[in-house]
């Protein structure tokens, strides 16, 4: 039997999302490739996970993550009924497409963007329409609306460019698009502002957040979705019944309760971001200002190309993310902001490569 004949054509034909490399624990690479927080979570959060591990592992977790939703509602000034919790924010993105996209329907996003959207759209049998960013990386509102998309994704600050679109433009998009607008705020904690206040005035807006980046809990897979209470009822129907495990729920509550403990870590990443931006510019890279915990650096002109840079860095023990299959990104490196000593080492390696 040819099992391929049984596989849904859209699954058979899709490339699938390729996550950044996770080296084996024994390897001593400097890991600047997947935008994790280089610091572990604060002891207040680790303690909550250990405490949760000591009880009730034989029981299913609370299916709707009630305690997490209540803690999030307090922090973000919304109602617990407006929050959906996911097994990572990727899980929320999956729920969104399951809820809104039938086969053949259109999903759009300004590109370059988070590459998972296209993969999830393929899975759903939908059609992903990439819309290039406008000049100066403004939100191409008209062209997004013209796609007729049922769901439009906007990342703010954007991955992999790091820029944050004007919130007024997001607001205009919500008004003009007769569709769902998803504002993916995976990196909002590193930015100067966020779009939370737009929720009250735009019923078609959904906002997603993750605990994998600023909250240093990538291992536990926790994400939040904020939207109207009405919409959460629909998303709850399409998610896995017990999508977030007990330990992750305990961690999420603790992280939200002890948000202040994260401030020094986030501050230090923001500071490091400004320093590495300047240091790379001095070395001939083009580096636009970033609002996230990574920068997108164009390699110096006239020297090695992007792929060669990525290879040379890896040979010298530094992992960064390279998206060479996208022509726009072929001469660019996405570099996660790590700890101070990691960035120092990274710069030494860059100097070594430039000199050789």
Give the residues lining the site for ligand PLP (CB under 6 A): 35, 88-90, 114, 155, 159, 184, 186, 210, 212, 218, 223
**By C-beta, is 212 or 277 nearer to ligand PLP?**
212
Quote the least distance from Cβ 158 to ligand PLP, whole Å.
Answer: 8
d(CA 98, CA 237): 10
Quote the least distance from Cβ 343 to ligand PLP, whole Å.
Answer: 20
d(CA 132, CA 180): 19
Quote the least distance from Cβ 23 to ligand PLP, whole Å.
Answer: 18
d(CA 37, CA 194): 19
Residue nearest to ligand PLP (CB): 88
**By C-beta, is 186 or 266 nearer to ligand PLP?**
186
**By C-beta, is 246 or 353 nearer to ligand PLP?**
246
| CA 316, 339, 221, 228 torsion-angle sign | negative
**By C-beta, is 210 or 291 nearer to ligand PLP?**
210
Quote the least distance from Cβ 96 to ligand PLP, whole Å.
Answer: 12
**By C-beta, is 114 or 133 nearer to ligand PLP?**
114
CB burial readout 213-225, b (16+ within 10 A) else e:
bbbbbbebbbbbb
Task: Bin 137: left if φ > 0, else alpha if -120 < ψ < 50, else beta.
Answer: left
d(CA 102, CA 99): 9
d(CA 163, CA 157): 5
Quote the least distance from Cβ 204 to ligand PLP, whole Å.
Answer: 19
């Amino acid at each position: 039997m040819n099992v391929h004949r049984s596989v849904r054509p859209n699954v058979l034909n899709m490339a699938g999302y390729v996550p950044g490399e996770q080296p084996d624990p024994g390897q001593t690479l400097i890991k600047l490739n997947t935008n994790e927080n280089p610091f572990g979570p604060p002891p207040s959060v680790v303690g909550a996970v250990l405490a949760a591990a000591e009880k009730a592992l034989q029981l299913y977790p609370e299916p709707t993550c009630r305690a997490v939703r209540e803690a999030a509602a307090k922090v973000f000034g919304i109602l617990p009924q407006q929050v959906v919790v996911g097994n990572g924010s990727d899980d929320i993105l999956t729920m969104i497409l399951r809820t809104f996209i039938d086969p053949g329907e259109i999903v759009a996003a300004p590109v370059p963007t988070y590459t998972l959207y296209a993969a999830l759209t393929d899975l759903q049998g939908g059609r992903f329409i990439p819309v290039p960013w406008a000049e100066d990386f403004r939100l191409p509102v008209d062209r997004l609306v013209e796609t007729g998309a049922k769901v439009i994704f906007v990342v703010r600050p954007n991955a992999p460019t790091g820029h944050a679109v004007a919130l007024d433009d997001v607001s205009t998009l919500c008004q003009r698009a007769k569709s769902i607008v998803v504002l993916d705020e995976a990196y909002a904690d590193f930015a100067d502002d966020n779009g939370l206040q737009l929720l009250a005035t735009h019923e078609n807006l959904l906002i997603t957040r993750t605990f994998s980046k600023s909250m240093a809990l990538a291992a536990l897979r926790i994400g939040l979705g904020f939207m109207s209470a009405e919409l959460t009822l629909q998303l709850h129907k399409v998610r896995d019944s017990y999508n977030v495990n007990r330990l992750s729920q305990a961690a999420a509550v603790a992280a939200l309760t002890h948000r202040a403990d994260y401030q020094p870590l986030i501050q230090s990443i923001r500071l490091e971001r400004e320093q590495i931006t300047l240091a790379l510019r001095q070395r001939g890279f083009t580096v636009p200002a970033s609002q996230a915990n990574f920068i997108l650096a164009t390699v110096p002109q006239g020297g090695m190309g992007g792929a060669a840079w990525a290879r040379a860095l890896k040979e010298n023990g530094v992992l960064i993310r390279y998206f060479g299959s996208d022509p726009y990104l072929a001469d660019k490196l996405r570099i996660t902001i790590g700890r101070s000593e990691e960035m120092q080492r990274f710069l030494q390696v860059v100097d070594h490569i430039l000199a050789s």
